[in-house]
Amino acid sequence: MAKQERAIRTRHSILLAAAKIFEARGYQSATINEILAEAGVTKGALYFHFPSKEHLAQGVLSAQDQSLPVPERPAKIQQFVDTVLLHAYRLQTDPMVRAGVRLSLDQQAQGLDRSGPFLRWGEIVRELLEKAEAQGELLPHVKTGETADVTVGGFAGVQAMSQAICDYQDLLARTSALLRHLLPSVALSSVLTSVDLTPNRGRIVFDEQGGLLADQRQAVSVEG
């Protein structure tokens, strides 16, 4: 077990180092040697977990999704909002998410399949919209797949704009504005009256997730 835990820690350390280098340098300019120096591991240890720079980048792209899901909400439009604003908050605060977004938007990343995050986000948003539709929260003309694509594309554009202008400092406000403009054409006005779209919502959901994680750890400790 100790050996397995050590391997998990090593893998995570390598991913964190790769995330830092990819965010700072971009995929094309980043080198394995830079990542090795940042991680403080041997080349053998790195290649044991990640056979190539592409595998490292895919690991970072996947790692940004490794978090607790947003808790279930009675109103699925609120859960949709919480999911988007939480990701915006994590982008401001989590280096792994920042690097994953940098990679997914990096048009110079030749040979790297950047479709994964867009496809995963499209699926997450579509499923939430389908649940909202089943509960009668959406306007009758809404096509959930189309709206999911528009949401993901709009969110990607807002991220790129915020990064270029102020290194994500205004991302929560911009994301909140995007949702305030988008949702009146998607959800019933009677639903939106009770939905929290404020920029601070991402932090609230993040703190809520932290409480849930602490409860889970405590439950595991008691059972053990």
pLDDT, position 83? 95
CATH of the domain at 7: 1.10.10.60
When pLDDT is cut at 50, 70 and 90, the band that residue 3 belongs to is confident
pLDDT, position 34? 93
Say how many domains are in the chain: 2
pLDDT, position 87? 92
Structure tokens, 171: 């991302």
pLDDT in tens, 103-117: 888 887 788 888 888
Structure tokens, 95: 């280096």
- What type of residue sits at position 54? E
Q: Tell me, yes or no, whether 82 and 57 share the same domain.
A: no
- Distance of alpha carbon 10 from alpha carbon 223, whole angstroms: 28
Evaluate if residue 66 carries a pLDDT over 70. no
**DSSP label at 203?**
H
- Distance of alpha carbon 19 from alpha carbon 27, whole angstroms: 10
Evaluate if residue 220 carries a pLDDT over 80. no
Q: Tell me, yes or no, whether 56 and 82 share the same domain.
A: no
Structure tokens, 41: 């591991």
Structure tokens, 197: 């779209």
Q: Tell me, yes or no, whether 82 and 167 share the same domain.
A: yes
CATH of the domain at 80: 1.10.357
Evaluate if residue 141 carries a pLDDT over 80. yes
Q: Tell me, yes or no, whether 42 and 149 share the same domain.
A: no
- The answer to the question of residue 138 being in a domain is yes
Evaluate if residue 153 carries a pLDDT over 70. yes
- The answer to the question of residue 71 being in a domain is no
pLDDT in tens, 21-52: 988 888 888 899 999 999 999 899 899 999 98
Structure tokens, 167: 């290194």
Q: Tell me, yes or no, whether 132 and 213 share the same domain.
A: yes
When pLDDT is cut at 50, 70 and 90, the band that residue 216 belongs to is very low
Say which range, 37-46, 72-81, 171-180, 204-213, has the weakest mean pLDDT.
204-213
The parent domain of residue 47 ranges over 2-61
- Mean pLDDT rounded to a whole number for the chain: 88
- The answer to the question of residue 9 being in a domain is yes
- The answer to the question of residue 121 being in a domain is yes
Evaluate if residue 16 carries a pLDDT over 70. yes
- Distance of alpha carbon 55 from alpha carbon 200, whole angstroms: 35
pLDDT, position 24? 85
The number of beta carbons lying within 10 Å of the beta carbon of residue 193 is: 7
Contact 126/96 with Cβ under 8 angstroms?
Answer: no
- Distance of alpha carbon 186 from alpha carbon 202, whole angstroms: 21
Evaluate if residue 67 carries a pLDDT over 80. no
- Distance of alpha carbon 4 from alpha carbon 45, whole angstroms: 14
Last residue of a domain, one of 61, 89, 110: 61
- The answer to the question of residue 69 being in a domain is no
pLDDT, position 104? 85
- The answer to the question of residue 68 being in a domain is no
Q: Which residue, among 46, 43, 35, has the nearest Cα to 10 in the 3D structure?
A: 46
Q: Tell me, yes or no, whether 207 and 126 share the same domain.
A: yes
Evaluate if residue 222 carries a pLDDT over 50. no
Q: Tell me, yes or no, whether 90 and 139 share the same domain.
A: yes
pLDDT, position 224? 46
CA-derived radius of gyration, the chain? 19
- Distance of alpha carbon 213 from alpha carbon 150, whole angstroms: 32
Evaluate if residue 223 carries a pLDDT over 90. no
Q: Tell me, yes or no, whether 97 and 137 share the same domain.
A: yes
